[in-house]
Amino acid sequence: MSAKETSRAWWRSAVVYEIAAISFQDSDGDGYGDLPGLLQRIDYLKWLGVSAVWLTPIYKSPDQDFGYDISDFCGIDPRYGTMQDFERVRDALHAAGIKLILDFVPNHTSDQHAWFQESRTSRNNPKADWYVWAEAGPNGGPPNNWLSRFGGSGWEWCEARRQFYYHSFLTSQPDLNWRNEAVREAMANVMRFWLDRGVDGFRVDASAVLIKDELLRDNPRDPEADDNTPPPQKYAPVFTDDRPEAMGCIEFIRSVLDDYDERLLCGEVQGKTDRIGHFYGNDKPRMHLPLNFALLDTEWNAIALQATVDAYYNAIPDGGWPDFVIGGHDKHRVASELGEAQSRILAILLMTLRGTPFLFAGDEFGAEQVKIPPDRIRDPFEKLVKGFGLNRDPERAPLRWDDTGQGGFTTGEPWLPLDEDRSRNIEAQRREKRSLLHLYRELIALRHREPCLSRGEYRPRRAHNDIFWFARTLDKAEILVGLNLCREPRLWEWQGRGVTLISTHLDREQDKVEGPMHLRPNEGVVIKLNR
């Protein structure tokens, strides 16, 4: 894709909506969301106005890690339906003008995958080198000190081969050997399988760990680790994460995608903001959108936000396009952290910053962390690394569509408990014009309607007096965004005249305004200046 074509790419003006199908809508009463259920809710997605849906894994899987332990990359798990159900969802999304992005999991498979079943049988079978195998250490134990993210050694003994295999995650998720050209080609064929079926792109899982140190060198102790540090993080992952060779793997993945027109490659990356630029690539392109969680990882005040946004934009290479993510299946629900009033401020911020917004199903109506009783915990992270608040079930709980006992999600027992607050649901907020859900819908429509918000430049202004503000400009158009991040009124010191396009308080909309102006507690305003 040429630079000119990239500048017009659909994902630059898109709003991407992540869906965990298992928690979205159940169609058959078994308590698990599925593809026919998703099909029933496409009218909602069209009403909301999102441009693309990213689906977490729906592939065949033993489901020991939320479907990220895949036993067949090219098959639909029966829990979710059939390939015909997938095609119906794809066609309905496309008919509604919505793109479809799938999770691509290149780092590992399930230990039940046919590839691993063959690889583990001997040291000389055709797939013997398809996974990361190593001899035992001098004492007969693991080859080195590498740890699994889910606790304990990252190495597991295989008696048939008399060797250890490496697993970055569960013992049932052996890591593929991306130094093997046959593995690369096999994963390229997986991509082609779905691209040929009309998928519009991929979100790459765990992209920074695709290659491990060839010398198997021990990771050093993390000098900043203390008693509150989870055991898997006691060592700095110098030789297991973000290796330079991993960038070559991403370049290869991108090269496969680029054989198809207008397809998106986004992905999970690791490291601090100043590292994110590497995932875009230079002479050899990598990702279109390395996913950026900076808004979730900063203090929620005007000064900190000012610094976070500035540092992120400065880290993006020339020609790169930014993105901002406010939720995900591995992230605590932001509404539980900010509260309802400041969640409205976040909505305006997300939809007016320069870059592609990503939100997780439920964020649009302020879904919060759901309380999970100990006997209902499903997340292996919490089961294996206890006491550090790592449980991801609270954000993965099924959506509440209405105020009934099963929340409109299922007629059976939901696989995880629903939010106990029945009043916080989609249908109730659809009826209430002042709801967070309606605010998101109006912001998405405004973003599509105003080219300045989807394509314009970001012009920072100095944060002051608890107000974070900035301008967006395109040609002669200029839009100001002012956000009061405190619970008291504040003076917003801007100059000029304009009209209010949208406000968290709604009663200012379409008002003619003149700066400076007072913002009420927890108020955000978007103003189009007169020219």
Whether 395 and 381 have beta carbons less than 8 Å apart is answered as no
Residue from 277, 303, 307 nearest 294 by CA: 307
With respect to residue 130, please indicate whether it lies within any of the assigned structural domains. Answer: yes
- Same structural domain, 382 and 512: no
With respect to residue 140, please indicate whether it lies within any of the assigned structural domains. Answer: yes
- Same structural domain, 87 and 169: no
CA distances (Å), origin 186, targets 74, 122, 192, 193, 243:
11, 20, 10, 11, 22
With respect to residue 219, please indicate whether it lies within any of the assigned structural domains. Answer: no
Alpha-carbon distance of 134 to 161, in angstroms, equals 10
Active site residue 310: no
Written as six digits, the tokens of 25 are 């809508």
Alpha-carbon distance of 251 to 256, in angstroms, equals 9
What pLDDT score was predicted for residue 368? 98
With respect to residue 141, please indicate whether it lies within any of the assigned structural domains. Answer: yes
Whether 26 and 34 have beta carbons less than 8 Å apart is answered as yes
Tally of structural domains, the chain: 3
Q: Which residue is associated with the tokens 């050093």?
A: 220
Q: Which residue is associated with the tokens 């990239």?
A: 6
Beta 323-325 vs 457-460: how paired, if at all?
Answer: unpaired
What burial class does residue 445 get, using C-beta atoms within 10 Å of its C-beta: 0-12 exposed, 13-18 middle, 19+ buried?
middle
Q: What is the mean pLDDT of the chain?
A: 96
- Same structural domain, 272 and 404: yes
What burial class does residue 318 get, using C-beta atoms within 10 Å of its C-beta: 0-12 exposed, 13-18 middle, 19+ buried?
exposed
What pLDDT score was predicted for residue 7? 62
- Same structural domain, 417 and 284: yes
Q: From edge to edge, which strands make up the β-sheet containing 457-460? A: 457-460, 467-474, 477-484, 524-529, 490-503, 512-519
What pLDDT score was predicted for residue 161? 97
- Same structural domain, 432 and 492: no
DSSP one-letter code for 431: H
Q: Which residues contact 291 (CB under 8 A, 6 or more apart)?
A: 203, 266, 267, 268, 269, 323, 325, 358
With respect to residue 450, please indicate whether it lies within any of the assigned structural domains. Answer: no
Long-range contacts, 119-125 (Cβ 8 Å, 24+): 120/158, 120/160, 120/161, 120/165, 121/160, 121/161, 122/160, 122/161, 123/161, 123/163
- Same structural domain, 304 and 381: yes
Return the H-helix or E-strand segment holding 73.
Answer: strand 72-76
Catalytic residue (one of 205, 323, 364, 450): 205
Catalytic residue (one of 18, 26, 63, 268): 268
What pLDDT score was predicted for residue 6? 58
Alpha-carbon distance of 83 to 194, in angstroms, equals 11
Backbone phi and psi for residue 176, each to the nearest 5 degrees, phi listed first: -70, 155
Which residues in the chain show pLDDT less than 50? 1-5
- Same structural domain, 513 and 426: no
What CATH number should be reported for the domain holding residue 130?
Answer: 3.90.400.10
Whether 449 and 498 have beta carbons less than 8 Å apart is answered as no
Cα torsion through 216, 217, 223, 224, rounded to 10:
-20
Alpha-carbon distance of 264 to 99, in angstroms, equals 10
**Last residue of one domain, picked from the residues 387, 409, 443:** 443
Q: Which residues contact 331 (CB under 8 A, 6 or more apart)?
A: 293, 296, 325, 360, 395
What CATH number should be reported for the domain holding residue 189?
Answer: 3.20.20.80
Q: From edge to edge, which strands make up the β-sheet containing 356-360? A: 289-290, 264-267, 201-204, 99-104, 52-55, 16-19, 356-360, 323-325
Return the H-helix or E-strand segment holding 355.
Answer: none
Active site residue 205: yes
Beta 201-204 vs 264-267: how paired, if at all?
Answer: parallel
The secondary structure of 280-293 as a DSSP string is: TBSSSB--SEE---
- Same structural domain, 206 and 345: yes
Cite the DSSP H helix spans in 271-360.
302-315, 334-352
Backbone phi and psi for residue 13, each to the nearest 5 degrees, phi listed first: -110, 10
- Same structural domain, 104 and 114: no
Alpha-carbon distance of 524 to 342, in angstroms, equals 9
With respect to residue 232, please indicate whether it lies within any of the assigned structural domains. Answer: no
- Same structural domain, 122 and 136: yes
**CA-atom Rg of the chain in angstroms:** 24
Expressed as residue numbers, the domain containing 498 is 457-529
Alpha-carbon distance of 56 to 203, in angstroms, equals 9
- Same structural domain, 103 and 119: no
What pLDDT score was predicted for residue 282? 84
The secondary structure of 486-528 as a DSSP string is: SSS-EEEEEEEEEEEEEETTSTTTT-EEEEEEEEPTT-EEEEE
Whether 230 and 385 have beta carbons less than 8 Å apart is answered as yes
**Last residue of one domain, picked from the residues 399, 421, 443:** 443
CA distances (Å), origin 367, targets 38, 330, 333, 343, 505:
18, 15, 7, 10, 20
What pLDDT score was predicted for residue 2? 45
- Same structural domain, 378 and 487: no
Residue 283 C-alpha from the chain's centroid: 26
Backbone phi and psi for residue 42, each to the nearest 5 degrees, phi listed first: -65, -30
What pLDDT score was predicted for residue 273? 86
pTM of the model: 0.96
What CATH number should be reported for the domain holding residue 490?
Answer: 2.60.40.1180
| pLDDT one-digit tens code per residue, 467-521 | 999 999 999 999 999 999 999 999 999 999 999 999 998 777 778 999 899 999 9
| pLDDT one-digit tens code per residue, 336-370 | 999 999 999 999 999 999 999 999 999 999 999 99
Return the H-helix or E-strand segment holding 158.
Answer: strand 155-158
With respect to residue 229, please indicate whether it lies within any of the assigned structural domains. Answer: no
Cite the DSSP H helix spans in 353-424.
380-384, 393-396
Q: Which residue is associated with the tokens 């593929």?
A: 176
What pLDDT score was predicted for residue 508? 77
**Last residue of one domain, picked from the residues 151, 177, 203:** 177
| pLDDT one-digit tens code per residue, 199-252 | 999 999 999 899 999 999 999 999 999 989 999 999 999 999 999 999 999 999
With respect to residue 234, please indicate whether it lies within any of the assigned structural domains. Answer: no
